[in-house]
Amino acid sequence: QVQLVESGGGLVQAGGSRRLSCVASGTIFRFLPVGWYRQAPGKQRELVASITSGGRTNYADLAKGRFTISRDNAKNTVYLQMNSLKPDDTAVYYCNRFDTTVFPWGQGTQVTVSS
C-alpha cells in the first residue's frame, strides 16, 4: 500500500512563497499521474495542479501563473512551488494519484497565508 507524506507547509505572509513536497513510499508512484489538491475549512477538496509521469502539467485557474508542479521520479517525490500566495490559498494541501482511483490520503500539510 502506497503511503503519501506531504510536507513544507507553514505560515507565510501574503505575497510570499512556499515549496511543498510529496513523498510516496512505493516506486509505482513514478509511473502515475499525480495531483496536488487542497481543502480549505468548510469547503470541498479541489484540484490545484497535476503532472503526468512524463512531466506534462496542468493547472487549475487558481494556480495558473503562480504555482508550479514538478516531480523527481528517482526520489518518488512531487513538488508544488507556490508563489505570490494569497490569504485565499490558506488550506491543507494534499497529493495523490490523479486518476479514477486514489491511494489513501495522507495527513496533508497546512499552508496559512496571512494578510
The HSE-up count of residue 74 (CA atoms within 13 Å, CB side) is 0
State pLDDT tens for residues 51-79. 999 999 999 999 999 999 999 999 999 99
Q: How confident is the model at residue 28 (pLDDT cuts 50, 70, 90)?
A: confident
Quote the mean pLDDT of the chain. 95
Q: What is the DSSP letter of 105?
A: P
